[in-house]
Structure 1
Amino acid sequence: MTESAKQLLLEIKNSGHTPIYVRISRLNPVISKDGLEFNYGGKKIELDGGIVRNLGFISSTEQLMKRFDSLKGLESNGITLINSPDSMFIARDKFNSLMKLKMAKIPVPDTTVVEDPFEVMRLVNEWKDVVIKPVIGSLGLGSVRVSDPDVAFRVAKAILSVNQPVYVQKYINKPERDIRVFVVGTTVLGSIYRVNRSSWKTNVAQGSLTQVLLPNEELQEISLKVVKALKLDYAGIDIVEDEDGSYKVIEVNAAPLWKGFYEATHINPAKYIVEHLIRKIKK
């Protein structure tokens, strides 16, 4: 269990409600003569609402469908979930989420997803410097920066050999940092710089230092447009500054961790997330 999950459980308890930690792999929807029920570890479980943190480790499409169906079943039974399964699913898919942001006129880097290593070579020749990422992933794990077409070809071949598409994003020459903005509901809780002078990766999990940043009007506007476009209740939004000073949204995390954010801002998102959930349940 992550520290963020522990803080959420504590906030639920402090608000006068009973917290339950549920592993999605053990949550089973049951169609019975009485309708749709749910059991957890062999026992019937009833919930008023829930905060979806992740879908667990997934090794097959069928496993993903079962877990997604379980969440959709909870939602169809009137249980309030944040983030909603549909929004969670979109945000988890990096390319789909960027397509929706682009359609909402939110600035994003040039990005594609392909299944041909020669196409990856061509893109490196065109874009010069790219990042190849897992389509689904977090913490910067598995991301590779490439500027050599031959190296890109080898990386693409390795990814394609395990039947995964290749997600390619034009590298933005950022100033040794990126920006994480944290939004709950229609409120920007705050933002931080994530600074790494020894690596192009600026995830806190990759060793970046954090500095508090007072978000300007443009950052707030972009971030609120992001959560609206993806229909998210809360999110961690990763934004980079381009060489011309403009902003681009790199990706959106629908179940962000906040250790670095809390250390820099002393704002605990758990309190605001739980309050937001309780308000939605009461509506």
Structure 2
Amino acid sequence: MNKPDAMLLARDKFASLMRMKNAGIPVPNTALVEDPFEVMRLVEKWGEVVIKPVVGSLGLGSVKVSDPDIAFRVAKAILSVNQPVYVQKYVRKPDRDIRVIVIGNKVLGSIYRISKSGWKTNIAQGAMAQILVPDAELEEISLKSVEVLGLDYAGIDIIEDMDEGGYKIIEVNAAPLWNGFMSATNINPAKYIVEYLIEKIRR
């Protein structure tokens, strides 16, 4: 149901994050570079970074780096296959992140994704799902991000910034998996997506 151009925008992590940042939505400091020395400088400036694929999912291929020399080698490997290097300042957070499911102009529900070990909080990486009642700020930035990207439904990944406070959106998924969401909330998003599609057709 999501429009192809909106899905392509959401799939490009950097482009979608910049669109949200320009709309005043809180996101981590992020850069897209093609010079491994620039990656080293970003690590020196930010202290700890996450290097991840520009297009990817399930947390696969994402690495956390604090050593400029290791960052240089990771960047060289990515550049060797003609891909730009997506670098994001690591935001210190609890052992969890938040997934919010939005359909139309409503928040269907949200969950914590709690890491059993390490820093990755993807369900596919072994994180546990726990139901969360979203507060007004969480709902507001989730709805705004979906509107800014032109999506009909999405899964928004959000972290709690332990240093600066508040929330930051990490990425918006235009074709989210929801096994963890269903297990924690007993809500099947597919039903509500179909209902919203029928409502759009009737309009």
Counterpart in 1 of 2:3? 84
3-state SS of the aligned residue for 2:120? coil
Counterpart in 2 of 1:254? 174
Q: Among 174, 179, 185, which residue is 1:265 paired with?
A: 185
Alignment of 1:146-185 (within 5 A): 146-185=65-104
Q: How far is 1:245 from its partner? A: 2.9
What CA distance in whole angstroms lies between the structure 1 residues aligned with 2:3 and 2:96? 31
Q: How far is 1:102 from its partner? A: 0.5
Residues 2, 174 of structure 2: 8 Å contact kept: yes
Alignment of 1:183-202 (within 5 A): 183-202=102-121
What CA distance in whole angstroms lies between the structure 2 residues aligned with 1:177 and 1:197? 9
Structure 1 residue ranges without an equivalent (≥5):
1-81
Q: Report runs of 4+ in structure 1 exceeding 2 Å deviation.
A: none
Q: How far is 1:279 from its partner? A: 1.4
3-state SS of the aligned residue for 1:219? helix
Counterpart in 1 of 2:158? 239
* Alignment length (residue pairs): 202
What CA distance in whole angstroms lies between the structure 1 residues aligned with 2:52 and 2:46? 16
3-state SS of the aligned residue for 2:97? strand
Q: Which has the higher contact order (CA 8 A, sep 6+)?
A: 2
CA shift digits 1:236-259 (9 cap, x unpaired): 000000014310000000000000
Q: How far is 1:278 from its partner? A: 1.4
What CA RMSD, in Å, does the superposition of the two structures yield over aligned residues?
Answer: 0.7
What CA distance in whole angstroms lies between the structure 1 residues aligned with 2:42 and 2:116? 27
Structure 2 residue ranges without an equivalent (≥5):
none
Counterpart in 2 of 1:124? 43
Residues 116, 126 of structure 2: 8 Å contact kept: no
Q: How far is 1:197 from its partner? A: 3.7
Residues 14, 54 of structure 2: 8 Å contact kept: yes
What CA distance in whole angstroms lies between the structure 2 residues aligned with 1:266 and 1:197? 22
What CA distance in whole angstroms lies between the structure 1 residues aligned with 2:146 and 2:2? 11
Does 2:133 match 1:214?
yes
Q: How far is 1:199 from its partner? A: 1.2
Does 2:192 match 1:276?
no
What CA distance in whole angstroms lies between the structure 2 residues aligned with 1:197 and 1:269? 25
Question: Considering only CA atoms, is the larger Rg found in Structure 1 or Structure 2?
Answer: 1
What CA distance in whole angstroms lies between the structure 2 residues aligned with 1:260 and 1:193? 10
Name the TM-score, length of structure 2 as normaliser: 0.98
